[in-house]
Amino acid sequence: MMNHEKLQRIGLGYPGASVKTPFDPHMPVLYVRDKMFALLGRTGELESVNLKVIPDEAWLQRETYPGAVLPGFHMNKRHWNTVVLNGAVPDAVVEGMLQESYLLVVAGLPKKVQAELAGSLKRIFPGWSG
């Protein structure tokens, strides 16, 4: 089952990714350069992750996985979802959500930064066009 350790390992494999703890030493946050793309937290007793999402997809994910995908806790609820890591959302889907969050954040970075990451991005994400 997907957990914080696995998400962190996957996320740190993305170009320009790093982990910081700006809010709480027990709440790691994955960044690409200086922008957050995954906040690893808890929902009740369960591990969860806040991920950036295309607004039109946010509601679809919430409807598809009721109770496991929620409006982003302490985030802009239009652009972020909280995914409860309780096994209700398949690991491959959570990994896809993490990738989508990363790519959405990269797309919002300055063009110069995107250009610096371009070679690595194209190797890892062949469909990435910037």
| Per-residue pLDDT band at 28 (split at 50, 70, 90) | very high
What's the Cα-to-Cα distance from 31 to each of 24, 42, 60, 66, rounded to whole Å?
15, 18, 25, 27
- pTM: predicted TM-score of the whole model, two decimal places: 0.93
In the numeric block, which tokens belong to residue 18?
């790093």
90-129 pLDDT, tens per residue? 999 999 999 999 999 999 999 999 988 888 887 888 777 7
pLDDT digits (tens, 9 = 90+) for 53-86: 999 999 999 999 999 999 987 787 789 999 999 9
